[in-house]
Amino acid sequence: MKIRNIYLQSILFFTALVFVPSIAAADSVGQKVVFFVDSSFSINELSSVSATLQKDSTNLYFYFENQWFDSKTAEEKEEINSLLTDLSQEFFYKIYPKLTTTFGTEFIPGIDNDRKITVLFSSMKDGAAGYVRNIDEYEKTVAPYSNQREMIYLNSDIIDSPLLKEYLAHEFTHLIEFNQKEKRIGASEDVWLSEAIAEYAVTLLGYNDSKNENSYLRKRVNAFLNKPYDSVVGWDNKTYDYGSVSMFIHYLVDHYGINIIVDALRVSEKTGIDSINDILQKKGLTERFKDIFNDWVIASYINDCSFNEKYCYKNDNLKNIHIIPFSNFIPFTGESTLSVSQTISNWSANWQKFSGANKTLKLVFDGRNQNYFKVFYIIRNYSDKYEVKELKLDANNKGEIIIPNMGIEKASVMVIPLVEDSNLSASNSSYFYYSIITTTSNPDNDSGADNGEINLPFSIDKPLNQMNKEELLTVLLKVIIYLFSQGKLTF
């Protein structure tokens, strides 16, 4: 997590004029320091904590909040020291060289004129793993609450987590981002893209083993599947935000290569969506962010490279991802009407699945004169073959889909409304309303719908509307067996 300070943006130019590097002696084990912290993460909403340097490694200082560390037994402290030894070696031999070779370095020797990075372990609220504060990269004369260090904050409760190195790598990536984008180029990156790049850094390091169900990436997959309709560019610092940006950035790099995000960080003077578009243009590609977003939305449902290479994740860790849609069932008998209404935010999508019917199905999408909508729909037949189409909307943001033999030849139709408008800021929290109304009909009136009858693949002794409950259950069981035998029903 990356914490910004708006105040700093207004004085950045002044800082460049008056900045004089400070000269500081190296920290020594046992040294005590009072650090400013972000109170929104602190378990007691503290704005500062007292900490002691417990370990000094080749390029990391490990400080611990005194109150937390002093509560540990001698054996626990010994175990912590062992964990820090492993972590420092992992950072020196793998995390630091891989990430700096790819993305560039952090600010060296830094605001404190010390090449080592300070890591502070302190008590944080549940769910918080860590963060960095850009304010720490400035002199106290400009930013009084700066710790004047290249500094990473980690939750002391994750010291024995098997994902500790992943969290450290994520936060270290933010230090690199600050130096490469904000300090070198003078642009403050959008939070969503900053977090997305830090998310991908963990995969870049090879930490996301597809065989490990408890991997860092698996946590992000679960967060995404729990709320796939979260906006990619909106940011509330919730678990689901990390899920959506992680899945999107993995899709982006899968299909367009790591240099898309490297160049967005190190080359483009633009930020967020504009920086991605800038790099795509510089590379001579015709696709733009919205095209990639559209493909990703469809890929998150189909995820099958054999159908279309655009509609899949190529990372082995993500090959089994499939969105679980909102499911809507249309009755088999008679003519029916079903209305579905939902709201959606910018750069997000809904997946509305319709099945059943056993007749002609008409779906009418209504975007209520909001010109931000785009709608795709996917027809799936019983052999899992797909047809992907875009629904053309009229001037009133309405469109109509007619599917003959729905439930007979077609297993389901997935309607995917999405909102994509680059003119809306990433922080825009507006919601857009849409509705889908479905109706069924039997154009030839030959299915017996008027008298309550439907066509069955076998003969029955009397009309359905004259059967009792036990007889109807018997017919239903025969239908289920028939559909299974024809491969038309799966679970």
pLDDT in tens, 22-36: 445 689 999 999 999
Whether residues 225 and 145 share a domain: the answer is yes
DSSP of 56-76, one letter per residue? E-SSEEEEEEHHHHHTS-HHH
Q: Read off the tokens for 98.
A: 């891989």
For the ranges 157-166, 297-306, 456-465, the lowest mean pLDDT is seen at: 456-465
Nearest to 351 by CA among 224, 233, 234: 224
The pLDDT value given to residue 6: 40
d(CA 491, CA 71): 52
d(CA 169, CA 186): 24
d(CA 137, CA 340): 50
Whether residues 245 and 154 share a domain: the answer is yes
d(CA 227, CA 283): 33
- Check pLDDT > 80 for residue 10: no
For the ranges 167-171, 187-191, 311-315, 380-384, the lowest mean pLDDT is seen at: 380-384
pLDDT in tens, 339-355: 999 999 999 999 999 99
| Helix, strand, coil percent values for the chain (each to nearest 5) | 35, 25, 40
DSSP 138: S
The pLDDT value given to residue 336: 83
Query: Do residues 300 and 323 make contact, with C-beta atoms less than 8 angstroms apart?
Result: yes
Whether residues 126 and 197 share a domain: the answer is yes
Q: Give strand ranges (E) for 89-205.
A: 117-122, 130-133, 151-155
What is the residue range of 357's domain?
326-453
| Domain contains 427 | yes
Number of domains, the chain: 3
pLDDT over 70, % of the chain? 87
- Check pLDDT > 70 for residue 208: yes
Whether residues 181 and 108 share a domain: the answer is yes
CATH code for position 340: 2.60.120.380
- Give the model's confidence band at 455: pLDDT under 50 very low, under 70 low, under 90 confident, else very high: low
Query: Do residues 250 and 203 make contact, with C-beta atoms less than 8 angstroms apart?
Result: yes
- Check pLDDT > 60 for residue 450: no
DSSP 3-state assignment of 185? coil
For the ranges 29-38, 258-267, 322-331, 468-477, the lowest mean pLDDT is seen at: 468-477
For the ranges 35-49, 412-426, 433-447, the lowest mean pLDDT is seen at: 433-447
| Domain contains 117 | yes
pLDDT in tens, 116-147: 999 999 999 999 999 999 999 999 999 999 99
Query: Do residues 400 and 414 make contact, with C-beta atoms less than 8 angstroms apart?
Result: no
| Domain contains 285 | no
Can you count the helices (H) and strands (E) in the chain? 12, 17
Q: List, in sequence order, every residue forming a beta bridge with 363; answer none if it has no partner.
A: 401, 438
**In which residue are the tokens 């490279």 written?**
305
The pLDDT value given to residue 371: 79
Whether residues 40 and 128 share a domain: the answer is yes
| Domain contains 156 | yes
d(CA 27, CA 61): 8
Nearest to 44 by CA among 26, 22, 62, 68: 68
Nearest to 153 by CA among 112, 192, 120, 202: 120
Long-range contacts of range 391-396, CB-CB < 8 Å, 24 or more positions apart?
A: 391/365, 391/415, 393/365, 393/367, 396/367, 396/369
pLDDT in tens, 394-413: 999 999 999 998 988 899 99
Whether residues 448 and 464 share a domain: the answer is no
Name the residue type at position 375. Answer: V
The average pLDDT across 174-192 equals 96
- Check pLDDT > 50 for residue 13: no
Whether residues 258 and 391 share a domain: the answer is no
The pLDDT value given to residue 448: 40
Q: Are strands 151-155 and 117-122 parallel, antiparallel or unpaired?
A: parallel
Query: Do residues 87 and 168 make contact, with C-beta atoms less than 8 angstroms apart?
Result: yes
DSSP 3-state assignment of 131? strand
- Check pLDDT > 50 for residue 95: yes
Whether residues 485 and 391 share a domain: the answer is no
- Check pLDDT > 70 for residue 54: yes
The pLDDT value given to residue 446: 42
The average pLDDT across 278-282 equals 97
Q: Are strands 60-65 and 48-56 parallel, antiparallel or unpaired?
A: antiparallel
Q: Mean pLDDT, the chain, as a whole number?
A: 89
The pLDDT value given to residue 428: 62
- Give the model's confidence band at 447: pLDDT under 50 very low, under 70 low, under 90 confident, else very high: very low
| Domain contains 448 | yes
Phi first, then psi: what are they for 21, rounded to 5°? -55, 135
The pLDDT value given to residue 443: 56
Whether residues 220 and 336 share a domain: the answer is no
Name which residue leads in pLDDT, 93 or 476.
93
DSSP 360: E
Measured between alpha carbons, how far apart are the two ends of the chain, in Å?
40
pLDDT in tens, 456-490: 666 676 667 667 777 777 877 877 776 666 665 55
| Domain contains 316 | no
Whether residues 488 and 407 share a domain: the answer is no
- Check pLDDT > 90 for residue 378: yes
**In which residue are the tokens 């979260």 written?**
230
DSSP 3-state assignment of 354? strand
- Give the model's confidence band at 261: pLDDT under 50 very low, under 70 low, under 90 confident, else very high: very high
CATH code for position 11: 1.10.390
List strands edge to edge, sheet with 2-3. 2-3, 130-133, 151-155, 117-122, 60-65, 48-56, 32-36
DSSP of 205-233, one letter per residue? TT---TT-TTSHHHHHHHHHHHSTTS-SS
d(CA 87, CA 121): 13
Q: State the virtual CA torsion across 321, 327, 331, 332 in degrees, nearest 10.
A: -10
Whether residues 187 and 154 share a domain: the answer is yes
Spatial neighbors of 373 by CB under 8 A, at least 6 apart, are 367, 393, 397, 417, 418, 419, 432, 434
Whether residues 424 and 491 share a domain: the answer is no
